[in-house]
Chains A and B, each alone.
Chain A
Amino acid sequence: MLLKTRKIVNIYLLVLITIVAAGCKADNKSKEILVTANDISMSYYDVKSDIQQEYIVSVNNEPLKKILNDWLNTLLDLGVNYGENSEGINIIENLEIKDVYIKGETLIIEFNKEFIDYNNNMTHPIYLINALTEILTQINVSDVYSIKIDGYDLNVIHPDGIDIKDIKLGEVEK
């Protein structure tokens, strides 16, 4: 039931959300992707309880980069922890999205180097990536996105091998 409700909400949000992608052209890093929208549904799993929480963020002509960094800050404020760095610090604490842009047909989400800490054993970036995918699915600027980290060339993160390149957005195959 919950899932059905969420699907309806997501369809509703897709209708509501419009994108002003100022110049969504190939390799255009210089121009911001602006989101003019009403509400974006954001959800996260708590690893310990396995409970999914959902909240709605209202945006109005805001850069996607800011929306996503605000999302990371909110996760941190909520105490969400998907793993620690080698010093035992929650990776989200120093995680930042450096840039958001379109390259070809692909939406690029460029994280800072702290994202690589999700290669550490016993971290859980799958939850972070699933939540990010859900947000980007609502902001239909592209059908596919990739996570980029400066100096990191692998297609996967984490020892379990989670894809970070060419992640498809939109309808899940049935």
Chain B
Amino acid sequence: MKRLVAVLLIFNLIISVSISDVLAKETYNSKGLAYCDVVTGEEVIFDDDSATFDSSLNKWLQHAHDTFGYCSNELTIISIKIKGKKIILDFNNEFNQLKDNSIIANYFVNSLSRTISINSKYEKLFIQVDGEYVKDFGELEFSNGIDLTISESEENDVEIKAYPDVPNPVIVIDPGHGGIYNNAVAADGTKEKAVVLSVANYLKSDLENKGATVIMTRTTDTQLSSTLSADLSMRADIANNNNADMFISIHANGYSNTSTKGVETFYPRYHDSTTSKSLANHISQSISTRQSMTLRTTKIGDYAVLNETEMIAVLTEIGFMTNAYDYSKMDSASDRDAMAYSIYLGIRKFWWGY
């Protein structure tokens, strides 16, 4: 009798193990491991054949220190806990070493959360160190968890639309405002019109290096007309009259609530909506990923410059100048250069397909 029970137990164990193996293989199929390259700032996706989600996370960590140097190889995941839609990763105290370099910490957290979001349906990531929740981490805010949901804009993004037959597009860059016109103002008094002109100049250089013909709507601190409607129409006319392939209007946001932040890009309602939305998504996502900024939903906008242009057109708000964190991404020449390069990478991915 005892022998029969033992045989049944072993049989049961074999069955359950093989069933769980099958289920694991059927239910988990890694979509890859995401990283942000510390040199280029571009997202890199590694193939991953892990059989389980936990294995993917451990493999992600291995590449994070071996390949990308985000952290030391002594950093380990102690445990992975699931609470409904929340995932809690408990690291050993080596995690605190990341505090020394906020840029690397951003890359680490963004890449980790990106890997989790593409491979699971968890909505929030919480980080613990030795069982204690990490609530703030230098510039990073963890108190409410890290949002893992793929934004509506990303979810609805269309396939990359590349235009290999037009390797040298004509691109009109429109630095918003200028002269008598301005909108946002930073706490230090810096005006939006100055920031966006600087970003636009760097972007012009990046795009020209790629082979694009770039036309600027303004190159100095001047308005195009003393009437706002005419000023805006003239910007659109520059793009229309030059048969531009793309129109990129660069702005920065401002709001009375100084904790409001994030990058937000608008596209036109009446023409080239789908393709413009795709470009808008690429630009917003590139800025968000590379500059570690909040990604706001891409939206339709009845801006005159978008409605009056006749080609793919976007108006991107590169962040809130009234928010200290966002403004830190645009308050120096090197920051504006980096911001421009992020916009460039979004355009490059949209137009050239990589």
Does B307 count as interface, using CB distance less than 8 angstroms?
yes
Closest to A84 in B: B256
- Structural contact, B257 and A48, CB atoms closer than 8 A: yes
Stretch in B32-40, B50-58, B263-271, B335-343 touching the partner: B263-271
Tell me the smallest distance from the CB of B306 to a CB of chain A, in Å: 9
- Structural contact, A159 and B181, CB atoms closer than 8 A: yes
Q: A122-B184, A156-B228, A168-B270 are in contact. Are A162 and B303 (CB under 8 A)?
A: yes
Does B305 count as interface, using CB distance less than 8 angstroms?
yes
- Structural contact, A174 and B304, CB atoms closer than 8 A: no
- Structural contact, A126 and B262, CB atoms closer than 8 A: no
Q: How far is the CA of A168 from the CA of B272 in the complex (A)?
A: 15
Q: How far is the CA of A160 from the CA of B272 in the complex (A)?
A: 21
A window 70-104: CB within 8 A of B? 81, 83-84, 88
- Structural contact, B297 and A50, CB atoms closer than 8 A: yes
Contact of B300 among A1, A130, A160 (CB under 8 A): A130
- Structural contact, B302 and A122, CB atoms closer than 8 A: no
Q: A52-B297, A172-B269 are in contact. Are A160 and B259 (CB under 8 A)?
A: no
- Structural contact, A47 and B260, CB atoms closer than 8 A: yes
Q: A52-B297, A172-B300 are in contact. Are A121 and B256 (CB under 8 A)?
A: no
The 0/1 profile, CB within 8 Å of A marked 1, for residues 290-302 of chain B is: 0000101101111
Tell me the smallest distance from the CB of B148 to a CB of chain A, in Å: 15
Does A161 count as interface, using CB distance less than 8 angstroms?
yes
Q: A161-B229, A168-B269 are in contact. Are A47 and B257 (CB under 8 A)?
A: yes
The 0/1 profile, CB within 8 Å of B marked 1, for residues 54-83 of chain A is: 000000000000000000000000000101
Closest to A1 in B: B155
Instruction: List chain B residues, Cβ under 8 A from A155.
Output: 229, 304
Q: A3-B152, A50-B297, A130-B299 are in contact. Are A163 and B307 (CB under 8 A)?
A: yes
Q: How far is the CA of A159 from the CA of B180 in the complex (A)?
A: 10
Q: Which one of A1, A47, A122 has the highest number of Cβ atoms from chain B below 10 Å of its Cβ? A: A122
Does A140 count as interface, using CB distance less than 8 angstroms?
no
The 0/1 profile, CB within 8 Å of B marked 1, for residues 121-136 of chain A is: 1101010011001000
Does A150 count as interface, using CB distance less than 8 angstroms?
no
B window 180-198: CB within 8 A of A? 181-185
- Structural contact, A161 and B184, CB atoms closer than 8 A: no
Closest to A82 in B: B255
Chain A interface secondary structure, helix, strand, loop or mixed? loop
Contact of B304 among A2, A129, A163 (CB under 8 A): A163
- Structural contact, B266 and A126, CB atoms closer than 8 A: yes
Instruction: List chain A residues, Cβ under 8 A from B299.
Output: 45, 126, 130
B window 116-169: CB within 8 A of A? 152, 155-156
- Structural contact, B273 and A162, CB atoms closer than 8 A: no
The 0/1 profile, CB within 8 Å of A marked 1, for residues 259-289 of chain B is: 1101010101111111000000000000000
- Structural contact, A161 and B232, CB atoms closer than 8 A: yes
A window 1-18: CB within 8 A of B? 1-3
Number of interface residues, chain A, beta carbon within 8 A = 33
Contact of A173 among B256, B260, B270, B302 (CB under 8 A): B270
- Structural contact, A156 and B301, CB atoms closer than 8 A: no
Q: How far is the CA of A81 from the CA of B257 in the complex (A)?
A: 10
Instruction: List chain A residues, Cβ under 8 A from B41.
Output: none
Does A22 count as interface, using CB distance less than 8 angstroms?
no
Does B114 count as interface, using CB distance less than 8 angstroms?
no
Q: A160-B183, A173-B271, A173-B273 are in contact. Are A122 and B303 (CB under 8 A)?
A: no
Closest to B183 in A: A159
Contact of B302 among A45, A121, A129 (CB under 8 A): A129
Q: How far is the CA of A88 from the CA of B257 in the complex (A)?
A: 12
Instruction: List chain B residues, Cβ under 8 A from A47.
Output: 255, 257, 260
- Structural contact, B273 and A172, CB atoms closer than 8 A: yes
Q: A154-B228, A168-B269 are in contact. Are A160 and B256 (CB under 8 A)?
A: no
Does B176 count as interface, using CB distance less than 8 angstroms?
yes
Closest to A163 in B: B302
Contact of B255 among A52, A122, A172 (CB under 8 A): A122
17 residue pairs from A and B, CB less than 8 Å apart: A48-B255, A48-B257, A48-B259, A50-B262, A81-B256, A81-B257, A88-B256, A121-B183, A122-B254, A126-B299, A129-B302, A155-B304, A158-B183, A160-B251, A162-B302, A172-B269, A173-B270
